[in-house]
Structure 1
Amino acid sequence: MIPDSVALGELERDALTEIVNIGVSRAASSLRKMIGDHVTLSVPSIDVVSQSRAARLISEREAADLVAVRQDFSGPFSGRALLIFPEANSLELVRAVTGDSLTAQEVVEMEHEALTETGNIILNSCLATMANMLKRSLTMTIPEVLRGNGATLFGVGANETADGLVLFLYIDFAVRKRDIRGYIAMIMDIPSLEVLKELLDEFIARVVGTDG
């Protein structure tokens, strides 16, 4: 059950979707420069769910093991951002990023570096855009690559308490005419989500005030 204090209303959800889409379009532009080919990125849907629900959602959609790039962020709101791909998609992403010039063995060897770089660009663009548009600043850690299933990535193992909530974003990702699906998840505690909701309300008031 999501507390009312952090449940996003329709306007808040629309505002956050717009902000994140600006972030990922900036990421797409950076990736385009990096690989010299067309990249499209969009976030069609956003939801706030529990960590266990996020783990279930991703396990229902993805039968294979997952690869994620993780960055922690702190500021007025804090948490952990994950860029998640099914394992097969992550190798496809490496092929796209490296221009299909590598052997199968080289693709596997390059995977960690290519994923870290791609994750850094996408997560940094999303978080920096959110911070900028909400008129705040965030500090981000160096990205790291994780592997496992939904339960592992969202910290809902037998020995872990998963009382945080997840801002769960589905992303459509196309590189060199390949469709590579993925997810962005931001794990935050209730106080952080309450702050984010307040900042979204301030943002909406500024935009409506400007338009009015």
Structure 2
Amino acid sequence: MTSDDFIPLTDFERDALGELSNIAMARAASSLRQMVQHQVLLSVPAVDVLTQDAAAAIVARPAHSSLVAVRQDFSGAFSGRALLIFPEANSLELIRAVVGPKLTLEDIVDLEDEALAETGNIILNSWVATIANLLKRALRMSLPVVVRGDGRQMFDSPGGSDSLILFLHINFEISNKAISGYVALLMDIPSFAELRALIADFVTHMTGDERGEAAQRD
């Protein structure tokens, strides 16, 4: 089976992933709020599953020729690679919001990789750990690595060209600064099939609980 044979997500699956993603981002926002001592809002307006070529085309728009990402590999019930991706200009805005307005641009550049890695680690760990916990599976995460490149380089994967990408548009608001970026989970076909099966079990379990509660109310 290749990515060309992938059956698109159902509306039910997309809604479930959207719900999982927003729970994860709420937890990430709470952790970031403690770090930066400012209000942090994180939302996920769109979730989809894409091929590597389709994801590269989205992040590599002409205005986004230079990209920065925090990368962490994960393994366990399913395995793959997690990426937090920003256009380079957005990454500098994020760092300025995280480290504070008093630093010069030169200071921010010096701290960029360290601050990006710490921010990315919080967001990606919250996202992957939340999904793993809600699906009742354990996943291990590698240390964060900051990488730079174009859209295609961002999605080089150990799984090869047949990897699929769980792709999230994310919106940040930190210290009244609005910053947009992407979270991507690269998985090979077997890993994605396993994730899909776990999501189906999760939805079935949640639906069963809701029906049970409704029956008790009646």
* 58-67 vs 190-199, which moves further: 58-67
Deviation readout 1:90-115 (Å, 9 max, x if unpaired): 11111111111211110000101110
TM-score of the superposition, structure 1-length normalised? 0.94
Structure having the larger proportion of residues in helix: 2
For residues 123-151 of structure 1, give each alpha carbon's deviation from its aligned partner in whole angstroms, at most 9, with x where no partner exists.
00000000000010100000000001101
Match of 2:167 in 1: 168
Compute the displacement of 1:3 (Å): 2.8
For the residues of structure 2 that align with 1:4 and 1:59, how far apart are their CA atoms? Answer: 23
3-state SS of the aligned residue for 1:136? Answer: coil
For the residues of structure 1 that align with 2:4 and 2:22, how far apart are their CA atoms? 24
Is the partner of 1:73 in helix, strand or coil? strand
Distance 1:63 1:27 in 2: 25
The RMSD of aligned alpha carbons is: 1.5
Partner of 2:179: 180
Structure 1: gaps (5+ residues): none
Deviating beyond 6 angstroms after TM superposition, the runs of 4 or more aligned structure 1 residues are none
How far does residue 60 in structure 1 lie from its aligned partner after superposition? 2.5
Map residues 45-56 of structure 1 onto 2, 5 A cutoff: 45-56=46-57
Amino acid at match of 1:179: A
Q: Deviation digits for residues 21-80 of structure 1, max 9, x if unmatched?
A: 111110000101100001100111111111111111111374330000000000111100
Structure 1 pair 4–155 and aligned structure 2 pair: CA distance change class (3 A): closer
1:67 corresponds to which residue?
68
Structure 2: unaligned runs, 5 residues or longer: 212-218
Partner residue of 2:5 out of 3, 18, 29: 3
Q: Note if 1:76 corresponds to 2:101.
A: no
Counterpart for residue 195 of structure 1? 194
SS at match of 2:27: helix
Q: Secondary structure in 1 aligned to 2:95?
A: helix
Per mean C-alpha deviation after superposition, the further-off stretch among 199-208 and 56-65 is 56-65
What is the CA-CA distance between 1:163 and the residue it aligns to?
1.6
Three-state SS of the structure 1 residue aligned to 2:84 is strand
| Percent identity over paired residues | 52
- Count of residues paired in the alignment: 208
The amino acid across from 2:175 in the alignment is R
Alignment of structure 1 residues 1-212 onto 2, 5 Å? 2-4=4-6, 7-60=8-61, 62-155=63-156, 161-212=160-211
1:2 touches 1:49 (CA, 8 Å); kept in 2?
no
